[in-house]
Structure 1
Amino acid sequence: MKKFGNVYLISAIAIIGGGLFGFDISSMSAIITSPAYLCYFNQGPNGPTFNNQSCSGPRSSTQGGITASMAGGSWIASLGSGFFSDKFGRRTVIMAGAVIWIIGCIIVSATQNIAMLIVGRIINGICVGICSAQVPVYISEIAPPSKRGRLVGAQQWAITWGICIMFYISYGCSFLDGTSAFRIPWALQMIPAIALMSGMLILPESPRWLASKDRWEECEAVLILTHGKGDPYSPWVAREFQEIREWVEIERRSKQITYIDLFKPRYLNRTHIGIFIQVWSQLTGINVMMYYIGYIFTMAGLSGNNLLLTSSIQYVINVVMTIPALIWIDRIGRRPTLLVGSILMSIFLFANAAIFATQGVPVPDGVNGIKEASLKVSGPASKAIIACSYLLVASYAPTWGPVSWIYPPELYPNQLRGKAVALSTSANWAFNFALGYFVPPAFVNITWKTYILFGVFCILMTIHVYFLFPETAGKPLEEVTEIFEDPNGPKWIGTPAWRTKNYTSTVEKMEHGEGLEKPRSNSFERKESVCVGRQV
């Protein structure tokens, strides 16, 4: 079958895997406050009336478990995806994930009870765990350095589109009678998975994975197809092919890498950064907005169609505000983007906490019978809550949203990338699971203090990024290793993070063949001395 090498087409197909996660998020957030859902999965006597029944839906802890079950499956799958990706290839594993998603959607849409719903969501989570870990690896290994940020970051854009599209599908289906109101949206989630599986058939395998399996002719052919635009004499292709070959030879002189090696001194700094970029992205509080926006806007006095339509605006904001990151992330760099995002988010989280604390009126039984909506604000305070919620999303969308996917694959050497990114992504899903389970009871028990908690996390992540997260923008993947293994820097850290720079402009010229006739500073001997000097 003919393979296509346009990197934008490759990214557009592969990131559908991210869109599946987005579909899941809004298929829950748009449905959990609907009467059909509350009555079908009812565990209490009070709440909205549906078919002459008064229903309050699942208990808070049960709803947390339903929401978190997808993340639980994602955690397990993302952790194991590195092994399968290294063995069978990035492309093959992503296609397998799409098949798993289709199976999960069949179970979820046919659900008869809460247990069956949870099982289906766990299976869906297995797909999301695989794709969220391996799609960024696949794209980062196939993308040219000057475009790597925007192409990998497009996964976050796909997530935002998935959220937005599924929310409006769920909103439209909310007018249907009976369980069709949630069964149809859950069934329609199969469509993008079918598109992903079909589209991957026409895409090439990762050249760096092919190199790791000594399939050098195929590796060079993919580089010619994707980076050389079909020109076998492209100087940039020749340079990159040589770079990959040199690093593979050096890596093979070292002992075989395992998950245990990730926690040894040589790789520990990279491992901790990869894990924390994903952990912090969850602790920004964005999951509160995505999964449980219905609860927040119910406390702001909205209900019915007004609640759903007002909630949907944040999903449109999420889509639109991710675009600046795709345009400028490679030129601005990773560090400034993360620092600005966390500072802005802390401001809006503290603002919401202050408004709820000073203007919120406790409602013991919950607003409109929804116990998680434990406070109510009205008038200008209500508008301020809605505005700060939108601004929080607008701050996350161009910053931590895309960078949390772009950054981990850039940190690790070729032989380690699949396993390391799988480990870092598993941390994302572990915290996604914990927060999905924690937030509903938190709204009941600590109410507005939930916002304080996430605001403090944003302050801590700002400090952490400044001192320990180096700039990786514009650097070929093989050269990022030299940042962490710089013999002139602090031991086990390498070049101090605040001294690292963005080289996107320089690399763009090299990709077009400019300056390649000059001797390269990164010689084979230099690479080998760095690697050997830093081995433990």
Structure 2
Amino acid sequence: MKYNASIASNPYVVGSFACIGGGLFGLDISSMSGVLNNQSYLSTFNRPNPSVQGAIVASMPAGSLLGALSVTQLADRLGRKNTIILAGIVWVVGSILQCASINRGMLVAGRIVSGYSVGLSSAVVPIYQSEITVPAIRGRMVSLQQWSITWGILIQYFLQFGCSYIDGVASFRIPWGLQMIPAIILSLGMMVFPESPRYLFDHGREEEALQVLADLHGGGDRNNELVLLEYEEIKQQVYLERVEGAKSYLDLLKPGNPRRVMLGCSLQAWSQLTGMNVMMYYIIYVFEGAGLTGRRSNLIADSVQYVLNVLMTIPAIIYIDKWGRRPMLLAGTLFMGFFLFLVGGLQARFGDWGDHEGKRVWVVTDNAAATRGIIVCSYLFVCSFAVTMGPVSWTYPAELYSLKVRGKAVALATAANWTFNTVLAFAVPPGLDTIAWKTYFIFGTFNFACFIHVFFMFPETVGRSLEEVEEIFKQGHVFTAWKIKRDVGKKTLSDLTEKSKVEGKREDSPDDPEQ
């Protein structure tokens, strides 16, 4: 089906619609948090202990790891658009399995299938968004991915909160079934949106790529200066890559690429090691440990955290292209580490081992001030993540790489996210069950370690085209990233036109390996 040019004329509409794929990630995160103390869920699945519950939760990110790795091939073979459509279809299948599950095995199978879908969408959507937007708004567009995740978390949680008043298995089956609706909308809707112009050019569809660029950034005018600038940048990059030979995984090891692959993978890993998704998956356990009693009051307190997560992502969306990536990461990791140490310190000082609903937990008892302090610090931690690390962790990896390796490199970065997500989802319940408050100190330390890593090794990429980012890494500065200024790599249309002529002649020369 040919895309609708009138829809493609607005890059905000194109990029934001693809973000429904990020919403599937959010639906996954809170699909378990609202049922952890649901009696119907517990009886249906034979009251899983902390280790078993950790395995059930971890099955989704394990599937996501496989999905993200698949994007290393699918993004370049099927295209960005078709891979997003496929992700929606797979999610529907997984949702059906979860909704109909009658035992742990069926539930885990459904979560793995849904996780595969999330892995596909979480890896390919940032690529698609980064390739259809101009540098001035790219950070804003890709950070919409994080905002859609927060909306998915919030919507799923309130569905579960509302259904918690229903007696019986419908209290958890209805939310798991309704979550297939966004995926259906995503797959059907993407059919009328354009393919990435960079993917089109790379596959010999130059005229179509130019028209898509014109529709997205020039109101349909193929002679618009911005359109021609982007077209020349893409053309120059593709010519260069064709001269270098066919694409392969070995390209990731060529000079200049290993450092960038490491940066993308490490940032996605750090986004998990901050402890944010732990607070999302297991917030009920966190607030139980804080001494918040009563299932309804716990659910209400949890919902405040999810609302804050949505609201505090908005400033990041608006200002990410003004503040820059580095300042946001540096500030966020400092604040998150500080608030996690406060949570751990308050629990250590005022808590003790006790019994809660028949299970041994570290809990704060008879100290309302400490309970409120832990809850407030948890809220402030979530706000710190939402306005900094959350959106940047998706934006930064999507703009690091050249066209030739972008699909594979971004997929590997996302795979790193899911690898750590899987490990932490599995490990945290036993951790809270054994070392209790020390768990928060571990994640707080990870945040401070991330601060050091970002300060020395992560250069600023804000405001540059994807092709201009290449110039940043030619400057060196492996351990002095703060020295790279914002004007490094800036090019004009005349610069690119002249350079593309040279590359075009080189491509047409008898020595061209394509000839």
If the TM-score is normalised by the length of the shorter chain, which range does it land in? over 0.9
Q: Secondary structure at the match of 2:114?
A: helix
**Counterpart amino acid of 1:157?**
W
Cα distance in 2, alignment partners of residues 130 and 99 from structure 1: 11
Amino-acid identity (%): 47
Displacement after TM superposition at 1:503 (Å) = 5.5
- The answer to whether residue 378 in structure 2 is matched with residue 389 in structure 1 is yes
Query: What is the RMSD of the two structures over their aligned residues, measured on CA atoms?
Result: 1.9
Contact 1:473 1:503 in 2 (8 A): no
- The answer to whether residue 316 in structure 2 is matched with residue 325 in structure 1 is yes
Cα distance in 2, alignment partners of residues 484 and 473 from structure 1: 14
**Counterpart amino acid of 1:273?**
L
Q: Secondary structure at the match of 1:375?
A: strand
**Counterpart amino acid of 1:381?**
A
- The answer to whether residue 472 in structure 2 is matched with residue 468 in structure 1 is no
Displacement after TM superposition at 1:258 (Å) = 2.2
Contact 1:333 1:502 in 2 (8 A): no
**Residue 100 of structure 1 corresponds to which residue in structure 2?**
90
- The answer to whether residue 80 in structure 2 is matched with residue 90 in structure 1 is yes
**Equivalent residue for 2:17, pick from 9, 13, 17:** 13
Question: Residues 372-387 of structure 1: matches in 2 within 5 Å?
Answer: 373-377=361-365, 378-387=367-376
Contact 1:77 1:130 in 2 (8 A): yes
List alignment gaps of at least 5 residues for structure 2: 504-515
Displacement after TM superposition at 1:220 (Å) = 0.1
Cα distance in 1, alignment partners of residues 345 and 497 from structure 2: 53
Deviations 1:146-186 (CA, angstroms, capped at 9, x unpaired): 00001000000000001111111100001111100000000
Cα distance in 2, alignment partners of residues 527 and 296 from structure 1: 60
**Residue 455 of structure 1 corresponds to which residue in structure 2?**
444
- The answer to whether residue 121 in structure 2 is matched with residue 131 in structure 1 is yes
Displacement after TM superposition at 1:31 (Å) = 0.9
User: 1:522–1:354: structure 2 CA closer, same or farther, 3 Å change rule?
Assistant: farther
Cα distance in 2, alignment partners of residues 369 and 263 from structure 1: 53
**Residue 425 of structure 1 corresponds to which residue in structure 2?**
414
- The answer to whether residue 167 in structure 2 is matched with residue 177 in structure 1 is yes
- The answer to whether residue 276 in structure 2 is matched with residue 276 in structure 1 is no
Q: TM-score, normalised on structure 2?
A: 0.93
Question: Residues 174-323 of structure 1: matches in 2 within 5 Å?
Answer: 174-302=164-292, 303-323=294-314
User: 1:316–1:503: structure 2 CA closer, same or farther, 3 Å change rule?
Assistant: farther
Cα distance in 2, alignment partners of residues 446 and 526 from structure 1: 63
Cα distance in 2, alignment partners of residues 80 and 397 from structure 1: 28
Deviations 1:164-209 (CA, angstroms, capped at 9, x unpaired): 1111110000111110000000000001001111110111000000
Q: TM-score, normalised on structure 1?
A: 0.90
Q: Secondary structure at the match of 1:374?
A: strand
Deviations 1:186-238 (CA, angstroms, capped at 9, x unpaired): 00000100111111011100000001101000100100000112122211101
**Residue 353 of structure 1 corresponds to which residue in structure 2?**
344
Contact 2:37 2:295 in 1 (8 A): no
Cα distance in 2, alignment partners of residues 300 and 75 from structure 1: 32
**Counterpart amino acid of 1:305?**
R
- The answer to whether residue 416 in structure 2 is matched with residue 412 in structure 1 is no
Cα distance in 1, alignment partners of residues 483 and 500 from structure 2: 24
**Residue 532 of structure 1 corresponds to which residue in structure 2?**
none
**Residue 41 of structure 2 corresponds to which residue in structure 1?**
37
Cα distance in 1, alignment partners of residues 123 and 30 from structure 2: 21
Give the length in aligned residue pairs.
497
Displacement after TM superposition at 1:470 (Å) = 0.8
Cα distance in 2, alignment partners of residues 350 and 33 from structure 1: 27
Question: Residues 111-190 of structure 1: matches in 2 within 5 Å?
Answer: 111-190=101-180
**Counterpart amino acid of 1:310?**
A
Cα distance in 1, alignment partners of residues 502 and 57 from structure 2: 46
**Counterpart amino acid of 1:177?**
D
Q: Secondary structure at the match of 1:472?
A: coil
User: 1:370–1:265: structure 2 CA closer, same or farther, 3 Å change rule?
Assistant: farther
